């Protein structure tokens, strides 16, 4: 059994679908201390939701999650991070190695299908260096440089090195030799990759090592060089009824999600834009009641409803100014907006018994899941690269949890259609 620790909810599902579409049965679980794991899948992923935590909290969560996976009988481990290295990267890698009493991990950040490539240690997004991409503007973890080795060295006490593309393309045997050589003097080795073929070579070379880390993309190639699954295909067994419309929640302000919500609205889906300024003042409950009542009427009539955070730059700026006056950081403001969207989701789900929900944005997805008391899900089927549908564990519910920067322009339209195909009214 493979054990994965992921630092956010959408990332957990992202790597889950990579293993799943290669034939493995996968389940994603929300981290809880002293949780027990039932061995009914090839891959168990624990979502620590630690990307926005303090380094000490992130270390503690990953250390404990790794211990839980080891106790459950996992023999291979994967530390899933953001594909652009945002978050508590170094301390989370260290936490996994410390708990396992290991001192070496292979790292691959490349995700060619989503435009992430690494060449000579320099990481790019759709051809742009990290500091020239939209991730330079991340409010919590701005990416101000592109050299992965340099980024990681600032976050770990262990030694870091890189293996470049020239070596990768000599084939798996030569790459494995380079990895073994690096292991003598370094604890982390970051490996270049530009194409899916490069990832195939990395998987072949890395399959015998106990700890891997990085983006989800390598998870698609690993099952090809590991034992086959003995579990049945979950997608063929899903049977859920729901006469309500599909609820779509969007808290992400990324360009990708903006395009996706625009496309969804243009397709005819009814939208409710939340005034984020009111979330921060005394009008919170009034705004909550207004959004809830309007959405409830539509959903009950079978209409799909999008509830989204305001993405107008002027309103976003005014919201930040209000928050600043109240002493809130941008992280706190973001979490308050996610909390509002999750509270609406919870109220609607409880009153209408909703069984189909789409959430856009990593923090939004995690917050929605916590409010709905979702402890985890089985991966069902990939909708778009890195974004699957999930069957909630111990609940009759289907969810789609999307990272803000993932998915094509029509993703949300496809996600709604996909959930309808899996259910009947």
CATH number assigned to the domain covering 2-224 = 3.40.50.10840
Write out the two tokens for 145.
Answer: 């440089």
> Is residue 80 within 8 Å of residue 6, measured between CB atoms?
yes
Which residues on neighbouring strands pair with residue 240, listed in sequence order? 423
Where are the domains positioned within the chain? 2-224, 235-424
Of 357, 407, 356, the closest CA to residue 382 belongs to 407
Cβ partners under 8 Å of residue 363, min gap 6 = 8, 52, 251, 334, 335, 338
Grouping H, G, I as helix, E, B as strand and the rest as coil, residue 299 is helix
Write out the two tokens for 137.
Answer: 């503007």
Task: State the pLDDT at residue 237.
Answer: 62
Of 24, 26, 380, the closest CA to residue 228 belongs to 24
Cα dihedral sign, 113-119-124-130? positive
The order of strands in the sheet holding 128-129 is 116-119, 122-125, 128-129
> Is residue 245 within 8 Å of residue 397, measured between CB atoms?
no
Cα separation, 63 vs 289, in Å, equals 41
In tens digits, the chain (425 residues) has pLDDT values of 999 999 988 889 889 989 988 889 999 999 998 898 988 899 999 999 999 899 999 999 999 999 999 999 999 999 999 999 999 999 999 999 999 999 999 999 999 999 999 999 999 999 999 999 988 887 778 888 999 999 999 999 999 999 999 999 999 999 999 999 999 999 999 999 999 999 999 999 999 899 999 999 999 999 999 988 877 666 556 678 999 999 999 988 888 889 999 999 999 999 999 988 888 887 889 999 999 999 999 999 999 999 998 888 888 888 888 888 888 888 888 889 999 999 999 999 999 999 999 999 888 888 999 999 998 899 888 898 778 899 998 889 999 998 877 778 999 999 999 999 988 76
Place of tokens 């889950």: 16
Cα dihedral sign, 8-10-13-19? negative
The listed CATH number (3.10.20.30, 3.40.50.300, 3.40.50.10680, 3.40.980.20) that belongs to domain 235-424: 3.40.980.20
Task: State the pLDDT at residue 233.
Answer: 61
Write out the two tokens for 56.
Answer: 């000490």
Cα separation, 38 vs 24, in Å, equals 16
Cα separation, 191 vs 157, in Å, equals 19
> Is residue 159 within 8 Å of residue 107, measured between CB atoms?
no
Q: Answer yes or no: same fold for 2-224 and 235-424.
A: no
């Amino acid at each position: 059994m493979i054990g994965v620790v992921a630092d956010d909810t959408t990332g957990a599902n992202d790597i889950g679908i990579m293993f799943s579409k290669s034939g493995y049965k996968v389940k994603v679980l929300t981290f809880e201390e002293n949780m027990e794991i039932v061995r009914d899948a090839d891959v168990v992923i624990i979502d620590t939701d630690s990307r926005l935590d303090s380094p000490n909290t992130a270390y503690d969560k990953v250390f404990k999650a790794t211990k839980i996976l080891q106790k459950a009988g996992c023999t291979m481990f994967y530390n899933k991070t953001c594909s652009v290295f945002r978050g508590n990267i170094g301390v989370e890698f260290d936490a996994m190695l410390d708990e396992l009493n290991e001192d070496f991990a292979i790292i691959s950040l490349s995700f060619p299908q989503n435009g992430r490539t690494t060449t000579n240690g320099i990481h790019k997004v759709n051809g742009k260096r990290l500091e020239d991409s939209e991730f330079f503007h991340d409010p919590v973890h701005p990416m101000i440089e592109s050299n992965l080795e340099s980024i990681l060295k600032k976050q770990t006490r262990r030694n870091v090195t890189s293996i470049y593309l020239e070596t990768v393309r000599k084939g798996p045997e030569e790459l494995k030799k380079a990895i073994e050589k690096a292991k003598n003097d370094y604890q982390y080795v970051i490996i270049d990759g530009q194409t899916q073929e490069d990832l195939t070579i990395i998987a072949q070379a890395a399959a015998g090592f106990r700890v891997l880390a990085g983006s989800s993309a390598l998870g698609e190639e690993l099952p090809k060089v590991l034992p086959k699954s003995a579990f049945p295909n979950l997608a063929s067994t899903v049977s859920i009824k729901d006469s309500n419309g599909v609820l779509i929640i969007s808290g992400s302000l990324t360009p990708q999600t903006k395009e996706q919500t625009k496309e969804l609205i243009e397709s005819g889906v009814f939208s409710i834009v939340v005034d984020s300024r009111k979330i921060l003042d005394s009008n919170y409950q009034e705004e909550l009641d207004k959004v809830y009542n309007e959405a409830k009427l539509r959903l009950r009539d079978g209409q799909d409803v999008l509830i989204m955070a305001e993405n107008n730059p002027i309103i976003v700026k005014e919201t930040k100014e209000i928050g600043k006056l109240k002493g809130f950081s941008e992280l706190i403001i973001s979490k308050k907006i996610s909390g509002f969207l999750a509270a609406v989701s919870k109220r609607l789900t409880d009153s209408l018994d909703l069984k189909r929900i789409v959430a856009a944005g990593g923090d939004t997805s995690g917050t929605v899941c916590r409010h709905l008391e979702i402890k985890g899900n089985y991966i069902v089927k990939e909708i778009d690269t890195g974004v699957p549908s999930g069957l909630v564990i111990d609940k009759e519910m289907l969810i789609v949890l999307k990272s803000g920067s993932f998915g094509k322009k029509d993703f949300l339209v496809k996600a709604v259609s996909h959930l309808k195909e899996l259910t009947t009214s």
